[in-house]
């Protein structure tokens, strides 16, 4: 019984995000003119997966008690780069995808090395590197566009429907969770990331490889931000160096992480919670769109819903004198 109480308390944020998503998505499809159809689900899934990938990127760093304000700019850089490289035959497309992913890994590695050896706050480092990444993206794509021989086969496969019903992007996200997140969470490095986020001094004194954990977190963050940028290219068939989009995805990723129960103090939460947080956040935006709310008011309502969710998630802390009672 105590074990069940602990698990529920530990996953409270994720369960709350899941509940919000179910309610908001149900209201969305109920009020959508087309109703609950494969096309409506596919469109919602594609937008949700896009934010979910960036939220996963943010999660790795937040678990170490850091924050990455460059994820949106890595996302934009990957989008612009992919609009040039996804051309020609399946072999050249595969090489292009590899190049984009390696670029994301390199961006994450730069962030990790600067945070570890520069001994500066992650927020400062990632603001600076984000500006550099955006500058490169703007150099690549001063104007929106794509290569003349852009290959849409892979894009269509990953943004379409499986068997004409299930969104392929959602299936891809499930595969990513099973192949990357689950093994990472159970690995020595994954446990080290949680330990560093809980207490870096204690982790260091216990022999936990602190530097390796932090470096891995930033590298994976860059990788997932690049995957998100790839998917943006798949959706739009083009690249655009938009600072507004980069900043929006950065802030939305932080909101999704918090909504999904990942602690900004580090050491608690999961990428799965962040995914549900991202899907819930997207569902809120879609619902406001269906109700034809003025776009200028949409950020206000999204912020109010997020504030309520975070407040409800933390409400029990004010009901106990000893926080250990939460797990007793």
pLDDT tens for residues 6-32?
566 666 777 888 888 888 888 888 887
Residue recorded with tokens 């160096």: 241
Intra-chain end-to-end CA distance of the chain, in Å: 10
Q: Which two tokens stand for residue 282?
A: 């997207």
* Separation between Cα atoms, residue 195 and residue 204, nearest integer Å: 9
Residue 314, pLDDT score: 55
Residue 108, pLDDT score: 95
Q: Residue 317: is its pLDDT beyond 50?
A: no
Question: Within 63-152, where are the H helices?
Answer: 71-85, 90-118, 122-140
2-327 CATH, one of 1.10.8, 3.40.50, 1.10.10, 1.10.3470 = 1.10.3470
Q: Are 260 and 275 in contact (CB under 8 A)?
A: yes
Rounded to an integer, the average pLDDT of 310-319 is 54
Q: Of 77, 82, 80, 75, which Cα lies nearest the Cα of 96?
A: 82
* Separation between Cα atoms, residue 285 and residue 304, nearest integer Å: 12
Question: Within 144-267, where are the H helices?
Answer: 153-159, 168-176, 182-186, 188-198, 200-205, 210-236, 243-259
* Separation between Cα atoms, residue 226 and residue 205, nearest integer Å: 34
Distances (CA, A) of 272 to 52, 54, 111, 260: 9, 13, 24, 8
pLDDT tens for residues 264-300?
888 888 899 999 989 988 888 887 777 777 767 777 7
Work out the widest C-alpha separation in the chain, in whole angstroms: 64
Q: Are 275 and 172 in contact (CB under 8 A)?
A: no
Which residues fall within 8 angstroms of residue 197, CB to CB, at 6 or more apart?
62, 63, 64, 65, 263, 265, 266, 267, 268
Sorted by where each begins, the domain ranges of the chain are 2-327
* Separation between Cα atoms, residue 57 and residue 170, nearest integer Å: 17
Q: Residue 308: is its pLDDT beyond 90?
A: no
Handedness of CA 181, 76, 49, 283 (dihedral sign): positive
Q: Residue 316: is its pLDDT beyond 50?
A: no
Q: What are phi and psi of 166, to 5 degrees?
A: -85, 130
Residue 303, pLDDT score: 72
Q: Residue 318: is its pLDDT beyond 90?
A: no
Lowest mean pLDDT across 73-82, 96-105, 142-151: 142-151
Indicate the pLDDT class of residue 325, thresholds 50, 70 and 90: very low
- By the 10 Å C-beta count (0-12 exposed, 13-18 middle, 19+ buried), 212 is classed as middle
Q: Of 270, 255, 253, which Cα lies nearest the Cα of 310?
A: 255
Q: Are 80 and 239 in contact (CB under 8 A)?
A: yes
- By the 10 Å C-beta count (0-12 exposed, 13-18 middle, 19+ buried), 211 is classed as middle
Q: Of 235, 54, 59, which Cα lies nearest the Cα of 152?
A: 235
Beta-carbon count within 10 A of 156 CB: 12
pLDDT tens for residues 228-265?
999 999 988 888 888 988 998 998 898 888 888 888 88
Q: Average pLDDT, whole number, for the chain? A: 84
Q: Residue 320: is its pLDDT beyond 50?
A: no
Report percent pLDDT > 70 for the chain: 88
Q: Are 69 and 126 in contact (CB under 8 A)?
A: yes
Q: Are 129 and 110 in contact (CB under 8 A)?
A: yes
């Amino acid at each position: 019984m105590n074990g069940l109480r602990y698990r529920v308390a530990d996953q409270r944020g994720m369960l709350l995000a899941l509940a919000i998503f179910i309610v908001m998505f149900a209201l969305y499809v109920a009020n959508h003119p087309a109703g609950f159809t494969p096309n409506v689900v596919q469109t919602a899934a594609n937008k949700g997966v896009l934010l979910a990938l960036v939220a996963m990127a943010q999660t790795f760093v937040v678990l170490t008690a850091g924050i990455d304000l460059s994820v949106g700019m890595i996302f934009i850089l990957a989008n612009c780069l992919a609009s040039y490289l996804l051309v020609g035959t399946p072999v050249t497309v595969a090489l292009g995808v590899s190049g984009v992913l390696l670029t994301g890994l390199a961006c994450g590695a730069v962030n990790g090395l600067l945070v570890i050896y520069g001994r500066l706050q992650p927020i400062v480092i990632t603001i600076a590197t984000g500006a550099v990444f955006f500058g490169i993206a703007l150099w690549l794509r001063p104007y929106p566009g794509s290569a003349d021989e852009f290959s849409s086969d892979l894009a269509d496969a990953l943004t379409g429907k499986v068997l004409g019903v299930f969104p392929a992007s959602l299936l891809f996200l499930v595969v990513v969770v099973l192949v990357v997140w689950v093994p990472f969470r159970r690995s020595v490095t994954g446990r080290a990331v949680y330990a560093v986020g809980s207490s870096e001094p204690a982790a260091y004194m216990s022999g936990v490889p602190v530097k390796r954990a932090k470096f891995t977190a930033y590298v994976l963050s860059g990788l997932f931000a690049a995957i998100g940028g790839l998917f943006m290219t798949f959706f739009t068939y083009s690249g655009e160096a938009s600072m507004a989009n980069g900043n929006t995805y950065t802030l939305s990723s932080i909101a999704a992480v918090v909504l999904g129960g990942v602690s900004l103090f580090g050491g608690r939460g999961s990428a799965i919670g962040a995914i549900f947080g991202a899907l819930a956040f997207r569902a809120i935006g879609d619902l406001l769109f269906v109700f034809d709310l003025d776009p200028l008011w949409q950020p206000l309502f999204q912020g109010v819903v997020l504030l309520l969710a975070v407040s409800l998630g933390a409400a029990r802390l004010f009901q106990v004198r000893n926080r250990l009672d939460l797990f007793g």
